[in-house]
Amino acid sequence: MLSQPLSLPCGTTLKNRIAKSAMSDSLGDGAGNPTNDQIALYERWAKGGLALSIIGEVQGTPHFAEKPGNLVLNNHSDREQLVRLANAGATDNAQLWLQLGHAGAMADAPISKPKGPSALDLPGLICGGMSLDEIHALPAEFARTARLAKQLGFGGVELHAAHGFLLNQFLSPLFNKRDDDYGGSLQNRMRLLLEVISAVRDAVGPEFPVGIKLNATDQLVGGFAEDEALDVVAAVDKTGVDLIDISGGTYFPGAASSSDRAGTGPYFLDFAGRARAKTRIPLMVTGGFKTLAQAESAIADGMADIVGLARALVVDPELPSYWLSGQRSKPLFPRFQNPPEGGVTAWYTMQITQNAKGEAALAPEDLETAIEAYESRDEVRRRVWNSMLG
């Protein structure tokens, strides 16, 4: 099942049904450019047998980054390093896509002035609201970044409309309190997403893969929820999108995020089944896949066309080759006792660095030191970011 190729509407074929879902790898150099460790990591993942690998949170400008380790793709970028990255990630006929991010209200405050659909002053979240002119500039900005990704040789792009970042903020009534054409009814709240899709498609032409990552639900009372998400899937079906990557949860302060979550997965398969009835666009389902049997049945049962793995490919970067040859069923996941909010994601982020450098794996007991290393590295990069890009 997992070995079957998957054809996307744009004409690109993915060589099998295993994807590395987008992760913010925190391996940028602090000035928005790729490091050699990052290039080595995407080559390693590609050699591990996956069909598609997506780099998380690539920014079109330095102004609304999620973290100071993000890549920034614009006219100031180090093109040579980016071309090396694109080539390394395409080793063995894998596809390397960039997830186009904009953290909006949740932009990393020390390196930005967070701004979302509406001004908010909540515990842990203070942001300004965007003007109409600022909103109108966004589709062209995403389009410019997508065009550059194509020029540099990346295989495709994924628009990040999940997890509480900008395009999800517009969808979510928790963030979006606007009373103009971009707020209120769902039709208005999804307007920006549809405008961005259309601008990106126009910029890259019909044959370049464009995906979106969409929340099935924010898993928050008053947030974006399943019935509305199904209506968004139906609206996206009428656009030129090649892959809908279904996820959920959010980094809204105090909320549950998929990357910190423990428990039995996969998380969003029921929703994927409902989404299937709304669209013919191929579906990727991400979140909570732990075993070969789960991945195979998601495909066999018709819930997903391709499975997205994040943490499984951090603990076992070569997992796809084992799964494709039926050799290993389960990666070894760490178990943490009462981790702090964000701690699990920080541990995985530092484990990504170990993989990139080819160094020994972290143990679950390293949680506290991993969190410290993660935070102090970001502090250093914030200084670089502010001096180079601020």
Binding site for ligand FMN (CB under 6 A): 21-24, 56-57, 99, 160, 162-163, 213, 247, 258-259, 265, 286-289, 309-312, 345, 348-349
Distance of CA 284 to the CA centre of its chain: 12
Residue with Cβ nearer ligand FMN (22 or 298): 22
Of the two residues 168 and 178, which places its CB atom closer to ligand FMN in the complex?
168
Token pair in block for residue 306: 């391709």
- Provide the total of helices (H) and of strands (E) in the chain, helices listed first: 13, 13
Nearer of residues 178 and 367 to ligand FMN, judged by Cβ? 367
CA distance 39 to 28: 10
For ligand FMN, the closer CB: 147 or 163: 163
Nearer residue to ligand FMN within complex by CB, 223 or 287? 287
Q: CB 133 → ligand FMN: shortest distance, Å? A: 28
Give the shortest CB-314-to-ligand FMN separation in angstroms.
6
Residue closer to ligand FMN, measured from CB, 178 or 243: 243
For 227, the enclosing helix (H) or strand (E) is helix 226-236
Q: How far apart (Å, rounded) are the C-alpha atoms in residues 170 and 135?
A: 10
The least distance separating ligand FMN from the CB of residue 295, rounded to whole angstroms, comes to: 11
Task: For the beta carbon of residue 376, count every other beta carbon within 10 angstroms.
Answer: 10
How far apart are CB 264 and ligand FMN at their closest, in Å?
Answer: 11
Cα–Cα distance measured from residue 163 to residue 213, given in angstroms and rounded to the nearest whole number: 9
Residue whose CB is nearest to ligand FMN in the complex, by number: 56
Under 8 Å between Cβ of 221 and 284? no
Please, what is the minimum distance in Å from the beta carbon of residue 261 to ligand FMN?
A: 7
Q: Report how far residue 308's alpha carbon sits from residue 148's, in angstroms, rounded to the nearest whole number.
A: 25
Best CA proximity match to 237, nearest among 299, 301, 173, 194 = 194
- Smallest gap from residue 150 Cβ to ligand FMN (A): 20
